[in-house]
Amino acid sequence: MSRGLNRYAILVACATFFLIIAGALVTSHDAGLATSDWPRSNGQFFPKMVGNLFWEHGHRMVATTVGILTIGLLIFILAKESRSWVRKLGVFALLAVIAQGLLGGLTVKLMLPLAISTAHATLAQLFFCTTVSLAIFTSRSWMNATPIAEEKGSLPLRYLCTAALVTIFLQLIIGATLRHSATWDKQLPTELILAHVGGAFAVTLALGSTGITVLRRHKGISFLTRPATVALTLLVVQLILGLSAYLVRAASPNDPQPLNPMVGVTVAHVACGALVFVTTIVLTLRVYKVMPASDSAIDLSARPLES
Amino acid sequence: MTKQTKVWLALVLGLSLLALGSACTKKGEETTNKSDAAGPKVVYKGATGTVTGVVAFAGTPPAAKKIDSSADPVCAQKNPTLETEDTVVKDGKLANVFVYIKDGTTADGKKVGDFQWDPPSTPVKLDQDGCHYRPHVIGIQTNQKLSITNSDPTQHNIHPTPKKNPEWNQSQPNGAPTIEKTFTVSEVLIPVKCNQHPWMKAYVGVMKTPFFAVSAADGTFTMTGVPAGTYTVAAWKEGGANGTEKTMQVKVDANGSAKVDFSFGEAAAAENKGGLQMMPALEFPMMGRSH
């Protein structure tokens, strides 16, 4: 295990989160087509960043930085990491960031078709998930975690976590579709809003029950309770942000331009959604790590090291 | 190489080819070629008249909203008093209303859209000056040139979002050559925006016939050379999701002048129940637009 690699993976994950925020700012400002060319902006690699070009070209610059960091991460992994599946995940991360860049270019060149814009937003979440996973897999707490057992006769936590994760991911896709289906000066389609609200109920149910189950069954095991607590807290924040985003977004078509309250709240909703997703991934990975598929002959007194 | 790696390599390769293909697409290249110019037609040679009128705004107009242009210092410096232009009212008269003959027949019973109406050789001009479009609303005939200039010392991009014509988006830095475009299908109206300055909006009414006008600052409009006949005249004002349209019937006599006035605003809606006719959503083949 390399502490340097783990710290670098955390750096890449943080940069990816910042990139998601930068991308959300582009969408909320309706800046995706501030320039008609790609990868250059108005024919330049370093254009004058005024108006909405600040957001669009800024997003491209952050994305380029993350791309370079990801190349560095793969080199670091290949140099320091012996586990073949981690090395493969590093390769996957690089391929994902390349695909993400190409999707970003495609969506500009094709003038923001809904399917490609949504795919771009969804792959962003998957890439974030990958970088966070790499940070988890290279951490000391992951290496030193020891197995613990499920309660006999109860629904395995693995299933609950997986269900929550899938539900959140589907909700992210609906949210991405909703965000890209209309610009700030048009009303969002009602059917997609309803689908997203329905998704919010499903996520609340799935993640809420998962988090509460973790807290109830594994009290004192911070390896599990910490991500569960963070996920539940973020879920509450996300629900509040979702309601706020709906209200400001419903009013924005009457505004003369994208105003800061609408931009701030919608971007925060996207960012918090990403955090809910990756926190649930952390919880799920840890559950899979310490809870084998078969819980027979597991020492209940075994405790993983603190993260 | 594992199977998963192969799949990802294939995906990346496919996306690369797609990106390359799209990058090779010429700007403004039309993706749909449906045109109004279908089949040989006859030039109208009969008697004509004029349609004039005034567009009023009844009641208190909504106050213009101030635009924060500080994101681009050039805009803030050149036009520090930028405001919205969706309802420009002076002395109760409404500007920027697009008025057009929506449907109707000439005196000999033929549809006005069935005749051939060649587009003028002079282009319609649209300028970006002070970080807003001038004029705010324009009319143009199908296949007539739209000439777009940038008078600002900053960069703009012009992005019409039509439903029937091909969409395009083109950057125009300061000093860049004039952009010339045409629209081949009639469409009322095409929103035009600048994604660099999201407050910038214009509307282009594309018509098969030359019978359209935009109300001036005093609310007046004039349509000349209208074949004698009976027509539905429509007036379109921006606002809401798709704007507001009102229609009236008018009879144009040979060498005569028909007058048709419109009124917008909440007070007008209350006063003119049964007066001005609010038309339901209809599709007129002549204009190719539903409301």
pLDDT above 70 for B38: no
Q: Which residues of B touch A95 (CB under 8 A)?
A: 8-9, 11-12
- Cβ B119 vs Cβ B129: under 8 Å: no
pLDDT band per the 50, 70, 90 thresholds, residue A151 = confident
The answer to whether residue B203 sits within a structural domain is yes
Q: Give the per-residue pLDDT at B21.
A: 46
B-contacting residues of A 16-35, CB under 8 Å?
A: 29-35
Provide the mean pLDDT of chain A: 93
Q: Find out whether B207 and B36 touch, Cβ atoms under 8 Å.
A: no
Nearest to A36 among B66, B169, B199 (CB): B169
pLDDT at B57 > cutoff 60: yes
Residue B31 lies in a domain: no
Q: Mind listing the pLDDT tens digit for each residue in B125-143?
A: 999 999 999 999 999 999 9
In chain A, ranges of CATH 1.20.120 domains: 149-307
Distance, in Å, from the CA atom of A132 to the CA atom of A165, rounded to the nearest integer, reads 14
State the DSSP string of chain B.
Answer: --HHHHHHHHHHHHHHHHHHHHHTSPTT--S----S--S--EEP-S-EEEEEEEEEE-SPPPPPPBP--TTSHHHHHH-TT-B--SS-EETTEE-S-EEEEEEEEETTS-BGGGEE-PPPSSPEEEEE-SSSEESSEEEEETT--EEEEE-SSS-EEEEE--SSSPP--EEE-TTPPPEEE---S-EEEEEEE-SSSTT-EEEEEEESSS-EEE--TTSEEEEEEEESEEEEEEEEE--TTT-EEEEEEEEE-TT-EEE--EEESHHHHHHTBTTBBPPPS-EETTTTEE-
Which pLDDT score, from 0 to 100, does residue B214 have? 98
Is B18 an interface residue toward A (CB < 8 Å)?
Answer: yes
Question: Which pLDDT band holds residue B26 (cuts at 50, 70, 90)?
Answer: very low
Question: Rounded mean pLDDT of A72-94?
Answer: 97
Average pLDDT, chain B: 84
Contacts of A50 in chain B (CB under 8 A): 71-74, 154-155, 196
Which chain B residue has the Cα nearest residue A29? B198
For A269-292, what is the mean pLDDT? 96
Expressed as residue numbers, the domain containing B92 is: 38-290
pLDDT tops 60 at residue B19: no
CATH number of the domain where residue B277 is located: 2.60.40.420
Would you state the pLDDT for residue B252? 96
pLDDT at B7: 58
Domain-located, residue B245: yes
Check whether B284 has a pLDDT greater than 90.
Answer: no
Residue-wise pLDDT for A210-260, tens only, equals 999 999 999 999 999 999 999 999 999 999 999 999 999 999 999 999 999
3-state secondary structure chain A: CCHHHHHHHHHHHHHHHHHHHHHHHHHHCCCCCCCCCCCCECCECCCCCCCCHHHHHHHHHHHHHHHHHHHHHHHHHHHHCCCHHHHHHHHHHHHHHHHHHHHHHHHHHCCCCHHHHHHHHHHHHHHHHHHHHHHHHCCHHHHHCCCCCCCCCCCCHHHHHHHHHHHHHHHHHHHHHHHHCCCCCCCCCHHHHHHHHHHHHHHHHHHHHHHHHHHHHCCCCHHHHHHHHHHHHHHHHHHHHHHHHHHHHHHHHHCCCCCHHHHHHHHHHHHHHHHHHHHHHHHHHHHHHHCCCCCCCCCCCCCCCCC
Residue A111 has its nearest CB partner, among B5, B66, B167, at B167
Report the gap between the CA of B274 and the closest CA in chain A (Å).
Answer: 29
Residue B240: band (very low, low, confident or very high) from pLDDT cuts 50, 70, 90: confident
Distance from CA of A18 to the nearest CA of B (A): 21
Cα separation, A128 vs A14, whole angstroms: 9
Please report which confidence band the pLDDT of residue B278 belongs to, taking 50, 70 and 90 as the band edges.
very low
Please report the ipTM that was assigned to this predicted complex: 0.85
Interval B176-229: pLDDT, tens: 999 999 999 999 999 999 999 999 999 999 999 999 999 999 999 999 999 999
B93 is a domain residue: yes
- Percent of chain B beyond pLDDT 70? 78
Smallest CA–CA distance, residue A127 to chain B, in Å, is: 14
pTM of the model: 0.86
Say if A200 is an interface residue toward chain B (CB within 8 Å).
no
Please check the confidence at residue B48 and state whether its pLDDT lies above 60. Answer: yes
Whether B10 is in a domain gets the answer no
Work out how many domains chain B is built from and give that number: 1
pLDDT, position A227: 97
pLDDT at A76: 97
CB contact under 8 A, B12 and A98: yes
Position B20 scores a pLDDT of 43
Range name among A56-70, A142-156, B250-264 with the lowest pLDDT average? A142-156
Mean pLDDT of the region B157-176:
94
Distances (CA, A) of B167 to B32, B163, B201: 9, 8, 15
**Residue B67 touches chain A, beta carbons under 8 Å:** yes
Q: Does B197 touch chain A (CB under 8 A)?
A: yes
- Widest CA span in chain A: 66
CB atoms within 10 A of CB B66: 12
The answer to the question of residue B124 being in a domain is yes
What pLDDT shows up at residue B244? 93
Is 80 exceeded by the pLDDT of residue A6?
yes
Contact: B195, A95; criterion CB under 8 Å: no
Q: To the nearest whole angstrom, how far is the Cα of B191 from the nearest Cα of chain A? A: 12
CB contacts, 8 Å: B65 with chain A: 255-256
Give the model's pLDDT for residue A7.
97
Whether B143 is covered by a domain: the verdict is yes
* Residue A99 in contact with partner chain B when CB distance is under 8 A: yes
- B173 in a structural domain: yes
pLDDT at B37: 57
What does the pLDDT read at residue B184? 96
- Residue B40 is predicted with a pLDDT of 59
Q: What is the structure's pLDDT at B275?
A: 39
**Span B26-33, mean pLDDT?**
40
Burial of A61 (0-12, 13-18, 19+ CB in 10 A): middle
Top-level class of domain A149-307: mainly alpha
Evaluate the CA torsion angle A31, A34, A35, A36 in order and state its sign. positive
Mutate to test the interface with B, among A27, A28, A33, A126 (most CBs of B within 10 A): A33
Q: Would you state the pLDDT for residue A307?
A: 40
Q: What is the pLDDT of residue B108?
A: 87
Pick B159's closest partner by Cβ from A33, A102, A256.
A33
* CB contact at 8 A, A57 and A88: no
